[in-house]
Structure 1
Amino acid sequence: MDVVRSYSSTSIKSKWTKTKWLLKSSEIRDYVPRTERFDRSGLRSMLARYSTVFFKPNGGTGGFHIYRITKLKSGYLVQHNASKIRFATFDALYARLSVYERAQSFLLQKGIQLASTKGRPFDIRVMVQKEDDGRWKSTALFTKIGKSEKVATNYNQGGKIGYFRQTLSGAGFGEAAINSKELELKRLGVSVGRLFDKRKQGFRELGLDVALDRKGRAWILEVNTRPQFYPLKRMGDNGMYRRILSYAQKYGRKK
């Protein structure tokens, strides 16, 4: 008789909690874009410092309810999905964002100008999973290629899944640079896994969402503690999906 295993990997919803963990590591903190809790002073401070700021739910998933705020010569432009609204004053902007915050808490994050591949912005998912002996291993790298008119690159937001090397090649990276970036991100994934283990027990898998800016610098946008990988089944070669699933099934993942 088959034994049905329940999912047995610790999950943390709060992006703020996970960001604070990352910032405590001297090895990792330089990968974290400036992030603050949303309030009036935080919004004013971030917009004084950066031309683009993201307003994102503290507990959200799938790229939903992420807003991009762009500072204009006069006023501010807020984009959600493909819709855009302009605000003439800081007070008007803050008043609108405060309405969204009534339903759930939000964070403010420095905007990263994403590298693009063949004209489309992308970020990278670093899958990190535990081996049987408890050591972390970066088991896969793949990319989420967004639509140019959308704010988020997520599959749920109309993005598509891409192969890591192919995507970086399309972004102008040479083979040596791709090899170097792959090694850097795999090491980063393992470092984040070890750090999370120090903060709380029971993690078995993590998914780092990593942006490359237009200079090729890597930034951790967030760390997912129950990362989705089912869209990989739709790729021509589903070997990556099978590899991730072979680890995930050991702690109760079905897909």
Structure 2
Amino acid sequence: MNPSTQGIVGILVGECTGPLPFAESAFFRQLCHIGNQQRMTIYVFCPGWVTSGHRSIPGYTFENGKWIRKQFRAPEIIYDRCISLDKRQQRRKQRCLEILNELQPFVYLTRGLAGKWSVYQALVKHKLFVPFLPHTVRYENSSQLDQWISNHEGEAFLKPQNGSHGKRTLHVKEIKSEPGGGFVVTGRDSSNQPFLRKFHSRQDGLEWIHRFVGSRIFLLQPYLQLNNANGEPFDVRVLMQKNENGNWSMTGMAVRAGRKHTLTSNLHGGGSAHRALPFLTKELGTQDASRAIDTIHHLSEAIPVHLESHFGRLAELGIDFGVDRKGQVWILEVNSKPGRSSLSRIGDMQGARKSVENPIQYARYLLLRKNLA
């Protein structure tokens, strides 16, 4: 490393249109600020900007109150915030990483997870998690869905293997009064807009769902009643991160409540954030709320260690839990590229600050270990 700096961290992101060619600029601005305090160089770059034959990388850093584009040395650590939506983007990202590794071997801050189905398969192997996992299978065809609905009290929940923010989720409910056994399908489209469709014919509904799924991988689960007394869907988001000592710790916890009669509770879908214990106490009572919080803490401590043994080094995880009207806790999803806005929304400013500091401090921990090795 250059004696004037404590390391170079490149934040790998997907390219988009707008005033800046990347999203999450407020988060990355904070990372640059914290990196500067630690005498680290932090910059943002996209896979398409890295080309073979060039020893420097074009990127953006935040200096003197503004974003500046300039050339940087290859990163020693890569913080991957890039979500590849298709195989073409995955190949471009992989080629970018190959070129960077040729320039200088780098350390991955976090390996990431391989999709919801792989995460479920990893978790279900551990007896600790099994009672808290909704039974999950891959969607195959209309006849499988038809049988599933018949076996699960006339309902089903479908979600995409690689989806985020509640996009393309579906709740299918049988209309028992219909002679043909029709369906009501509620969900969110690819733009995260809520919709409702009614099918008087069971077959029409099944065919429409099959077209909606298309060639994408979808997961099929029982529909869980995860609404509060007002009919608002909610979940509990826990942010687990590695700290400056390389140890997992809970940075914060918040309830995310969606709009009434909508399907998901994600804040991108127009939801609100609340402190977990008061919210659950209001819904479940003191004893059941306390029991649910204890269970969430216990599971949150165990999940990161278990998933690291399957997927390699991880730096942070957003773990989403459902809590039903009986107080039963459910592991809903685990995200290796989590958001963190819910902490500031509930006024947990210490947690919000740590959520930004931890990735940089863990990166510094890895660099120090690398240089001492």
Report the TM-score, using the length of structure 2 for normalisation: 0.63
C-alpha deviation, 1:173, in angstroms: 2.1
One-letter identity of the residue aligned with 1:155: L
Report what 2:134 is aligned to: 33
Query: Pick from 230, 234, 248: which aligns with 1:122?
Result: 234
The one-letter code matched in structure 2 to 1:120 is E
Corresponding position of 2:326: 215
> Greater Rg, structure 1 or structure 2?
2
The aligned runs of 1:221-232 (5 Å cut-off) are 221-232=332-343
1:158 alignment counterpart: 270
Deviation at 1:103, TM superposition (A): 5.0
Structure 2: runs of 5 or more not aligned: 6-39, 43-76, 80-108, 189-193, 364-373
In structure 2, which of residues 153, 160, 184 is the aligned counterpart of residue 77 of structure 1?
A: 184
Report the equivalent of 1:92.
Answer: 204
The change in CA–CA distance for 1:33 and 1:148 in structure 2 (over 3 A counts) is same
Q: How does 1:90-239 map onto structure 2 within 5 Å?
A: 90-102=202-214, 104-116=216-228, 119-174=231-286, 176-239=287-350
Identity across aligned pairs (percent)?
25
How many angstroms does 1:251 deviate by?
4.5
The amino acid of 1:25's aligned partner reads H
TM-score by length of 1: 0.90
Distance in 2 (CA, whole Å) between partners of 1:160 and 1:117 is: 16
Q: Secondary structure at the match of 1:171?
A: helix
Deviations along 1:76-126, whole A, 9 cap, x unmatched? 110124421122344322211221222522111111101415553311112
Q: CA RMSD in A?
A: 2.0
Question: How far, CA to CA, are the matches of 1:240 and 1:38 in structure 2?
Answer: 38
Distance in structure 2 (CA, Å) of the matches to 1:28 and 1:132: 28
Asked whether the equivalents of residues 9 and 251 of structure 1 are also in contact (C-alpha less than 8 Å), the reply is: no
Name 1:14's counterpart in structure 2: 115
Match of 1:61 among 156, 164, 179: 164
**1:188 Cα deviation after fit:** 0.1
Partner residue in 2 for 1:46: 148
Q: How many residues align?
A: 251
Q: Judge conservation of contact 1:115–1:122 (CA < 8 Å) in 2.
A: yes
1:164 Cα deviation (Å)?
Answer: 0.6
Contact 1:117 1:167 in 2 (8 A): no
Contact 2:281 2:288 in 1 (8 A): no
Higher relative contact order (CA 8 A, sep 6+): 1
